[in-house]
C-alpha cells in the first residue's frame, strides 16, 4: 500500500478522458510524477497542459496500448525519465455491442486488443520493473490497478466481446494479485469494476482504425450502441468519484473497487454466483432491472 504519493510516479493509460484523466488530476494534486498515455493526441495534449499547469512533472506519449512495440517503447521511456513507476493504471478501454455471432474478426481484434492486450502489456512490462525496484529498496511500495467492468463479472446479452474481454481482465488481475503475494509484500493490486459511469467509452469508435460506417452495423449492434449510450450517459456517479475510490484502494490495499456499491448494483453478481454453485442455468442479468431486458428482447425479435 502507498500512503505518501508525493514524488511517486504514476503511469496512466486512457489518460485523456474518464477515469484516467481524473486519476491524473488526483495524482497531480498529490505531487506525483505523471506518465500520461492515450491514443487521441488532442485529448493527450490537453491533459498534459492541465497537469503541467498544476505543477506535475509530465511524460505524455501517444500510444496504442494493443501494440507490443509501442508499449515497449513506453516502458523504456518511463524507466529512462522516472525509473520504476509506483502506480500503474492499466485503464484504456473501448466498447462494442451486438449479438456475439454477428461481430466481425475486426471487432474482436479491436476490443480484445485494447481491453485485454493493453492490460497484458502493462502487466508484463511494468511489474518486472517494479519488482526490481522493490528488491533494491525495502521502502519501495508499488500498486497496479487494472480496469475491468461489472460486465466482467456478469454476462449481459448483446455485448459479448466486451464481456469476454473484461472477464479475462478480472481473471488476469485476480491471478496477478495471487502471484504478487507469492513473491513480494511491497506491491499491491486492485481490480476496478465500474458500472454505468459517464466517461468517453461510448464514443470510443472515434479512435478505431477503419471504423465501420453506421450503415454497416447490424440491427443488434445499433440497438446495443443506443442502449449503452443511454445507460452510460444517465449514470449518477462521476468519473471523479470513481478516481477517488481508486486512490483510496491503493492506500487501503483493497483489491475490489466498485463504482456502485448498493445492494441493487451488486445483486446481479450475487445471483450469478449462487446459480453457478447450485449448477442452475445462468441467472437473468436484468434481475434488478427487468424492464431493460424486456425492451431488448422486444427490439431484437421485432421484424
CATH label of the domain that carries residue 92: 3.40.50.720
The answer to whether residues 88 and 154 belong to one domain is yes
Paired strand residues for 278: none
Q: How many domains does the chain have?
A: 2
Across 12-21, 207-216, 226-235, the highest mean pLDDT is recorded for 12-21
pLDDT in tens, 231-254: 666 667 899 999 999 999 999 999
Evaluate whether residue 209 is within a structural domain: yes
The answer to whether residues 268 and 254 belong to one domain is no
The answer to whether residues 104 and 215 belong to one domain is yes
The answer to whether residues 128 and 145 belong to one domain is yes
pLDDT in tens, 33-70: 999 999 999 999 999 999 999 999 999 999 999 999 99
pTM, rounded to two decimals: 0.92
Evaluate whether residue 37 is within a structural domain: yes
pLDDT in tens, 139-184: 999 999 999 999 999 988 999 999 999 999 999 999 999 999 999 9
Evaluate whether residue 3 is within a structural domain: no
Evaluate whether residue 119 is within a structural domain: yes
* The pLDDT value given to residue 22: 97
Q: Is the pLDDT of residue 264 over 80?
A: no
Give 287's pLDDT tier (boundaries 50, 70, 90): confident
The answer to whether residues 172 and 30 belong to one domain is yes
Q: Is the pLDDT of residue 256 over 60?
A: yes
Evaluate whether residue 246 is within a structural domain: yes
The answer to whether residues 251 and 283 belong to one domain is no
Give 135's pLDDT tier (boundaries 50, 70, 90): very high
Evaluate whether residue 277 is within a structural domain: yes
The answer to whether residues 111 and 208 belong to one domain is yes
Across 76-80, 230-234, 270-274, the highest mean pLDDT is recorded for 76-80
Comparing 20-24, 26-30, 193-197, the range with the smallest average pLDDT is 193-197
The answer to whether residues 256 and 298 belong to one domain is no
The answer to whether residues 283 and 149 belong to one domain is no
Evaluate whether residue 1 is within a structural domain: no
* The pLDDT value given to residue 288: 74
* The pLDDT value given to residue 205: 65
Give 197's pLDDT tier (boundaries 50, 70, 90): low
* The pLDDT value given to residue 206: 67
The answer to whether residues 54 and 133 belong to one domain is yes
* The pLDDT value given to residue 213: 77
Domain that holds residue 296: 263-303
Evaluate whether residue 4 is within a structural domain: no
The answer to whether residues 231 and 291 belong to one domain is no
* The pLDDT value given to residue 67: 98
Amino acid at each position: 500500500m502507498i500512503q505518501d504519493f508525493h514524488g511517486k510516479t504514476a503511469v496512466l493509460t486512457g489518460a485523456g478522458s474518464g477515469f484516467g484523466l481524473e486519476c491524473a488530476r488526483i495524482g497531480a494534486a498529490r505531487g506525483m510524477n505523471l506518465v500520461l498515455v492515450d491514443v487521441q493526441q488532442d485529448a493527450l495534449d490537453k491533459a498534459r497542459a492541465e497537469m503541467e499547469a498544476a505543477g506535475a512533472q509530465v511524460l505524455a506519449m501517444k500510444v496504442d496500448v494493443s501494440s507490443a512495440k509501442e508499449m515497449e517503447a513506453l516502458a523504456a521511456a518511463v524507466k529512462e525519465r522516472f525509473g520504476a513507476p509506483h502506480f500503474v493504471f492499466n485503464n484504456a478501454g473501448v466498447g462494442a455491442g451486438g449479438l456475439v455471432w454477428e461481430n466481425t474478426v475486426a471487432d474482436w481484434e479491436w476490443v480484445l486488443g485494447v481491453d485485454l492486450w493493453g492490460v497484458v502489456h502493462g502487466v508484463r512490462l511494468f511489474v518486472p520493473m517494479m519488482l526490481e525496484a522493490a528488491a533494491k529498496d525495502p521502502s519501495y511500495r508499488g500498486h497496479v490497478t487494472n480496469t475491468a467492468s461489472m460486465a466482467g463479472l456478469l454476462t449481459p446479452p448483446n455485448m459479448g466481446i466486451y464481456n469476454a474481454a473484461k472477464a479475462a481482465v478480472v481473471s488476469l488481475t485476480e491471478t496477478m494479485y495471487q502471484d504478487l503475494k507469492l513473491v513480494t509484500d511491497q506491491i499491491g493490486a486492485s481490480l476496478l469494476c465500474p458500472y454505468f459511469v459517464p466517461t468517453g467509452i461510448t464514443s470510443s469508435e472515434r479512435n478505431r482504425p477503419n471504423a465501420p460506417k453506421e450503415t454497416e452495423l447490424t440491427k443488434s449492434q445499433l440497438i446495443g450502441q443506443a442502449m449503452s449510450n443511454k445507460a452510460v450517459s444517465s449514470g449518477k456517479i462521476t468519473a471523479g468519484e470513481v478516481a477517488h475510490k481508486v486512490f483510496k484502494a491503493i492506500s487501503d490495499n483493497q483489491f475490489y473497487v466498485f463504482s456502485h456499491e448498493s445492494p441493487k448494483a451488486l445483486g446481479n453478481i450475487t445471483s450469478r454466483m449462487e446459480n453457478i454453485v447450485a449448477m442452475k442455468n445462468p441467472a437473468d442479468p436484468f434481475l434488478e432491472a427487468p424492464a431493460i431486458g424486456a425492451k431488448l428482447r422486444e427490439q431484437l425479435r421485432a421484424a
